[in-house]
């Protein structure tokens, strides 16, 4: 299905009835809404619980603690689905940081993290499957913090680029989807049996790596579609 937009609209974002509006490659795209076959999986339920717990916990922060979160949040710029820049709110940053902390097995903190960079991912070199393991090699310029690693299932032959909703944490053991930054090029090995999707050599997939600072503040995600060797 294709749609053409006319004045005064240039781009649309969001759901309308059974259609989803988005931007792809700088062009407006409309596609049919697809409902996940099982939106109540253990992983999804756990992640939603982390965000909910952090949202509830924010109501207990002190005025002084909130100033710290607000000061940090004003330094962070994000882009929405239309490419428009915006500044995070103090609660938004608090919830994001503490959701990642819980995902990594850490307790919720009411103290804003120190202002540090998260570095950037500069490339994904290879993905291989052998001996029951999935091995990912990538490059970066980070010096401290973590990397959040996600993958897609096998991409359809006609799908050139994976969409945001195609990515999932790489393993069902949630904490192992966040790995500490090591020397670049960095190699991460995951047991195929622990992965979200069953993947094999010659499969074409999407890989997304998001740098997280030492305080679990996310940087710019790096994505790549590649064929598993």
Do 46 and 31 share a structural domain? no
What CATH number does residue 207 fall under?
2.60.40.10
Residue 115 lies in a domain: no
Do 132 and 199 share a structural domain? yes
**Model confidence pLDDT, tens digit, residues 98-150:** 999 999 999 999 999 987 778 999 999 999 999 999 999 999 999 889 999 99
Give one DSSP letter per residue of 145-197, joined into a string. SEEEEEE-SPPPTT--S--GGG-EESBSSGGGGEEE--SSSEEEEEEGGGBSS
Confidence of residue 82 (pLDDT cuts 50, 70, 90): low
Residue 124: name the closest of 185, 198, 181 by CA: 185
**Model confidence pLDDT, tens digit, residues 137-164:** 999 999 889 999 999 999 988 778 898 8
Do 173 and 223 share a structural domain? yes
Residue 16 lies in a domain: yes
Give one DSSP letter per residue of 78-107, joined into a string. EE-TTS-EEEPPHHHHHHHHHHHHHHTTPP
Question: Residue 143, Cβ neighbours under 10 Å: how many?
Answer: 13
Question: Residue 117, Cβ neighbours under 10 Å: how many?
Answer: 15
**Domain span at residue 24?**
1-35
Do 153 and 55 share a structural domain? no
Report d(CA 55, CA 22) in Å as an integer: 27
Looking at the 3D structure of the chain, how many domains does it have?
Answer: 3
- Statement: the pTM of the whole predicted model exceeds 0.75: yes
123 bridge partner residues: 139
Residue 20 lies in a domain: yes
Residue 10 lies in a domain: yes
Residue 23: name the closest of 86, 76, 84 by CA: 84
Do 198 and 156 share a structural domain? yes
Confidence of residue 31 (pLDDT cuts 50, 70, 90): low
């Amino acid at each position: 299905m294709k749609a053409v937009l006319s004045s005064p609209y240039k781009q649309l974002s969001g759901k309308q009835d059974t259609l989803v509006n988005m931007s792809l490659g700088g062009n407006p795209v409309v596609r049919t809404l697809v409902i996940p076959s099982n939106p109540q999986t253990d992983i999804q339920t756990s992640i939603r619980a982390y965000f909910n717990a952090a949202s509830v916990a924010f109501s207990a922060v002190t005025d002084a603690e909130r100033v710290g979160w607000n000061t940090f949040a004003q330094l962070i710029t994000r882009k929405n689905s239309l490419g428009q820049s915006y500044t995070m709110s103090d609660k938004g940053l608090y919830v994001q940081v503490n959701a990642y902390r819980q995902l990594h097995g850490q307790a919720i903190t009411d103290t804003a993290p120190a202002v540090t960079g998260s570095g950037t991912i500069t490339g994904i070199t290879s993905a291989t499957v052998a001996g029951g393991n999935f091995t990912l090699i990538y490059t970066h310029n980070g010096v401290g913090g973590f990397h959040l690693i996600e993958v897609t299932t096998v991409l359809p032959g006609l799908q050139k680029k994976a969409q945001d909703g195609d990515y999932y944490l790489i393993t069902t053991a949630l904490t192992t989807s966040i790995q500490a930054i090591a020397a670049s090029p960095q190699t991460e090995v995951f047991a195929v049996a622990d992965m979200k999707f069953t993947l094999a050599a010659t499969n074409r997939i999407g890989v997304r790596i998001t740098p997280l600072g030492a305080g679990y503040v996310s940087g710019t995600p790096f994505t790549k579609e590649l064929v598993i060797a």
